[in-house]
């Protein structure tokens, strides 16, 4: 068995990018049209934004340009994400990046001229055109950090260069790294990023799992210095930008667009590191006991609690899970779910060069696209529910908001996605009293929903904070420093209950999130919100669902605090987080109780 090439996968397992552009010629024409529209925009508005009326006219024309950029950028990005080895896709993405840099450099005068207007003029424009109120409010907040127009133009022109480290990271990871095969007891197993993360990392056979772990991390080790240098280049760009714009520190700079303060950021990391760790160590010991392991190692943390009960789930069977688990969200939402299958919004295939993990891209004016590498496990069902949560969010937001108002703060972005995982779990638990089935569902919630979002991404965040503190102090990082930071975070969280064996320190190489600012901690922030709202839905039913749908439709018109309050959660206090950690603890206690029941029943 070998990893398939993209050309060898079934087209029905792939997404249909023709909804973006029917042909390559259409894409090239769109790039040409965009370039011409920008030149016309510059001629029409540059140096002429002097009052509220001219500001509104310029924003209306800019809105049209922004709506032209999105499908072209999405097409270039998505076609590359399914096969990073494809020369044509690489060149297309580069062409778009170059065009986008020129576009945003040319139109950078817009924010510069708007920022130079008196505050009362901007307020007048906000009053006369509610659709741009949100855009202008953010502009006013950013005004102290706005640089000279020529500097802004130059920075925008260099954007594709600033984004280069992320592209280099993906090329190293998905093109240059060849994992080959590994052998266990005379049998050869193929290995790749997607195969390791999709199945081998959780293989019930300890010999296979640990051998896969060693082979995987041995290959990562070969590329640690290049990857570290790439990451440092990205960090230095962020630090320089933060200093240029006059932020007090890099954290303030990166949290600015998230519309939250550092207290919320630190609280999320500190409380989970200290108070969730004992619960998760208990879960690790339960895994060790059930599987009869000689010791619990980092390589064993992803194994299912009851692998013999794990059904293999086909793509079509997953649709039924989505329909049943998410039906509480209403007919329109389920229609969106069905369309995602029928109209090929989802890329299920496993192939060489495909991006790892899963994501949802939601281009304004089209429909969402979901990338996942389907292996047929229950984990995949929760991952798909998660990504459909993103899709449902922007499906609702795009229908109710303009392109400037549809996207909320990054802090809130993972709440709708993790909400779907909770709804799926609630549905499954409600429909069976069988102890083994209940244990399977609860263990899936812990192993997928909470481990992934409250452990994996949170440990990324704790490590990332150490990195940024170093960068903020004017220093750099290399592979040795990053390895030390990552190992220290893993050892602090797992204590003596889990052996952090050689290779685990290289886990920092696996995630692209470090190239997306302070993103990792937002997973636990979003899941804190969705855990509380899902409990409210269990108690109140339809009124709570209706409130949640209103939150989705609000898009980015409110801050994370305001959106959470709409859903009945006050994130200005630590109570929702403490309640969520306690809820996770109660689930692990249920797993212990159910395991004892099952063991007694089988004797």
Condensed to tens digits (0 to 9), the pLDDT of residues 43-101 reads 999 999 999 999 999 999 999 999 999 999 999 999 999 999 999 999 999 999 999 99
In this model, does residue 530 exceed pLDDT 90? Answer: yes
The mean pLDDT of 228-236, rounded to a whole number, is: 98
> Residue 279: CB partners within 8 Å, gap ≥ 6?
581, 584, 585, 588
The confidence score (pLDDT) of residue 601 equals 67
> Residue 265: CB partners within 8 Å, gap ≥ 6?
251, 255, 518, 521
Q: How far is CA 578 from CA 156, 203, 260, 426, 524, in A?
A: 42, 33, 19, 20, 12
**Matching residue, tokens 């994501």:** 359
Share above pLDDT 70 across residues of the chain, in percent, rounded to a whole number: 99
Question: Whole-prediction pTM value?
Answer: 0.90
Residue 157: enclosing H or E segment and its boundaries?
helix 149-157
- Rounded to whole angstroms, the Cα distance separating 302 from 209 reads 10
Kindly give the residue spans of alpha helices, DSSP state H, lying in 445-559.
Answer: 457-472, 479-494, 520-540, 542-554
**Matching residue, tokens 């600033």:** 162
- Rounded to whole angstroms, the Cα distance separating 591 from 595 reads 6
> Residue 267: CB partners within 8 Å, gap ≥ 6?
574, 577
Pair 591, 305: CB distance under 8 Å = yes
> Residue 46: CB partners within 8 Å, gap ≥ 6?
109, 113
The confidence score (pLDDT) of residue 1 equals 52
The domains located in the chain, with CATH, are 15-159 (1.20.140.70), 308-448+519-602 (1.10.1370.30)
Residue 582: enclosing H or E segment and its boundaries?
helix 575-602
Which of the four pLDDT bands, split at 50, 70 and 90, describes residue 160? confident
Closest by CA to 368, choosing from 68, 71, 21, is 71
Residue 92: enclosing H or E segment and its boundaries?
helix 87-106
Q: What angle do CA 285, 487, 485 make, to 5 degrees?
A: 145
Which of the four pLDDT bands, split at 50, 70 and 90, describes residue 413? very high
Pair 468, 514: CB distance under 8 Å = no
Residue 297: DSSP 8-state: B
3-state SS, residue 184: strand
Q: What angle do CA 144, 145, 146 make, to 5 degrees?
A: 100
Q: Name the average pLDDT for the chain.
A: 95
């Amino acid at each position: 068995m070998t990893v398939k090439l993209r050309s060898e996968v079934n087209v029905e397992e792939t997404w249909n990018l023709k909804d973006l552009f029917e042909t390559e010629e259409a894409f090239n024409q769109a790039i040409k049209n965009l370039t011409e529209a920008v030149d016309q925009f510059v001629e029409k508005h540059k140096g002429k934004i002097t009052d509220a009326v001219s500001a509104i006219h310029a924003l209306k024309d800019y809105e049209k340009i922004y709506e032209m950029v999105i499908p072209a950028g999405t097409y270039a990005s998505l076609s590359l994400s399914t096969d990073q080895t494809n020369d044509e896709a690489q060149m297309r993405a580069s062409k778009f990046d170059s065009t986008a840099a020129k576009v945003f450099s040319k139109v950078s005068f817009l924010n510069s001229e708007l920022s130079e207007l008196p505050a009362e003029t901007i307020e007048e424009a906000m009053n006369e055109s509610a659709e741009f109120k949100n855009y202008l409010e953010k502009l006013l907040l950013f005004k102290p950090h706005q640089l000279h127009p020529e500097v802004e133009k130059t920075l925008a022109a260099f954007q594709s260069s600033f984004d280069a480290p992320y592209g280099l990271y993906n090329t190293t990871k998905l093109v240059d790294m060849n994992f080959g095969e590994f052998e266990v007891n005379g049998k050869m197993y193929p290995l790749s990023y997607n195969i390791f993360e999709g199945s081998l990392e959780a293989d019930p056979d300890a010999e296979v799992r640990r051998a896969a772990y060693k082979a995987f991390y041995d290959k990562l080790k070969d590329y640690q210095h290049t990857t570290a240098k790439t990451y440092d280049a990205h960090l230095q760009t962020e630090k320089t930008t933060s200093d240029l714009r006059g932020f007090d520190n890099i954290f303030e700079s990166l949290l600015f667009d998230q519309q939250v303060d550092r207290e919320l950021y630190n609280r999320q990391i500190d409380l989970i590191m200290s108070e969730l760790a004992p619960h998760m160590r208990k879960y690790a010991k339960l895994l060790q006991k059930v599987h009869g392991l000689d010791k619990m190692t980092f390589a064993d943390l992803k194994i299912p609690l009851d692998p013999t009960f794990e059904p293999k789930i086909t793509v079509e069977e997953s649709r039924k899970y989505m329909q049943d688990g998410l039906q509480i969200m209403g007919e329109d939402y389920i229609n969106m779910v069905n369309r995602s299958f029928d109209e090929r919004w989802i890329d299920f295939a496993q192939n060489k060069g495909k991006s790892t993990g899963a994501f949802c891209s939601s281009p304004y004016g089209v429909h969402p696209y979901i990338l996942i590498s389907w292996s047929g496990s229950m984990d995949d069902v929760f991952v798909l529910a998660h990504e459909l949560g993103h899709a449902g969010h922007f499906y609702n937001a795009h229908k109710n908001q303009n392109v400037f108002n549809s996207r909320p703060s990054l802090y809130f972005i993972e709440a709708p996605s993790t909400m779907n995982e909770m709804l799926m779990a609630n549905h499954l638990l409600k429909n069976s009293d069988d102890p083994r089935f209940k244990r399977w569902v609860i263990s899936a919630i812990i192993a997928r929903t909470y481990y992934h979002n409250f452990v994996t991404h949170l440990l990324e965040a704790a490590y990332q904070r150490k990195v940024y503190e170093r960068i903020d102090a004017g220093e750099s990082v290399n592979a040795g420093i990053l390895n030390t930071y990552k190992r220290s975070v893993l050892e602090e969280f797992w204590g003596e209950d889990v052996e952090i064996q050689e290779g685990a320190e290289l886990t920092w190489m696996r995630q692209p999130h470090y190239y997306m600012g302070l993103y990792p901690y937002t997973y636990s922030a979003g899941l804190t919100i969705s855990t509380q709202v899902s409990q409210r839905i269990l108690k109140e039913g339809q009124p709570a669902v209706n409130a949640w749908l209103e939150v989705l439709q609000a898009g980015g018109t409110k801050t994370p605090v305001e959106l959470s309050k709409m859903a009945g959660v006050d994130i200005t206090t630590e109570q929702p987080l403490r309640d969520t950690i306690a809820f996770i603890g109660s689930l692990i206690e249920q797993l212990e109780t159910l395991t004892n029941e099952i063991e007694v029943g089988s004797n």
